[in-house]
Amino acid sequence: MSLLERIHGSYAYGRRVEQLSRHLADVLPQAASVLDVGCGDGLVAQLVNQKRPDLIFTGIDVLLRPQTQIPVKQFDGSSVPYEDATFAAVMFVDVLHHTEDPLVLLREAARVARDCIVLKDHTANGILAHQTLRLMDSVGNARHGVALPYNYWTRQQWHQAFETLDLSVSSWEKDLALYPVPANWIFGRSLHFVARFDVKRARSSGS
């Protein structure tokens, strides 16, 4: 493990997952069944569940960990192995930028979600945004064997995708304070967001 990886693990990781769980808990619907796509060991979902015991989490991931905090099923990374409208909500936490085409999984999420998609990811807007995101991704994920295509979208690209899938943005938070000061000045900025997108077909069908 490199020096940067040690610093990340001891200095930033705990605060990051705790802050993330707070933001996600704020936007998930009440008493919802939630599919956590690319959940890893399920730690973030577990922390959300501690704050929101009304939620029921199920996870899927390409790589199965020996121990997980929530029930996890393996999947192929592109086809979600559930029927249409199985879950009230689908959640992605720093997953889509690890795919070659985020639209593929977003479309699957819109299919299996009745109410909404909750998403934590990045926006590649601003000075040296792409370079900063690549550094964070490498430090946090390379040693775990996670695919790193560095596929970061701008905010404009995200919104274009949501329009394509007929998703309505109901909340968008970019001031997440994931890292302690002064690290947040460099690695926070507006590079991160947590957002909720309502599935319009769910409302129109009355389900």
Cα 192 from Cα 107, distance rounded (Å): 21
Domain extent for 146? 3-205
pLDDT of 8 reads 40
Look at the chain and report how many structural domains it folds into: 1
pLDDT of 131 reads 80
3-state class (DSSP) for residue 174: coil
3-state class (DSSP) for residue 56: strand
Mean local confidence (pLDDT), 21-32:
98
Q: 85-143, pLDDT tens digit by residue?
A: 999 999 999 999 989 999 999 999 999 999 999 999 999 877 767 687 777 666 665 45
Q: Which helix (H) or strand (E) holds 110?
A: helix 102-112
Q: Which of 40-49, 116-125, 189-198 has the highest mean pLDDT?
A: 40-49
pLDDT of 138 reads 64
In the chain, the amino acid numbered 42 is G
Q: Are 193 and 124 in contact (CB under 8 A)?
A: no
The more confidently predicted of residues 159 and 149 is 159
CATH number at residue 11: 3.40.50.150
pLDDT of 201 reads 59
Q: Are 92 and 38 in contact (CB under 8 A)?
A: yes
DSSP state of 78: S
Cα 51 from Cα 57, distance rounded (Å): 13
What are the CA-CA distances from residue 162 to residues 1, 36, 145, 168, 169 (Å)? 38, 19, 29, 7, 8
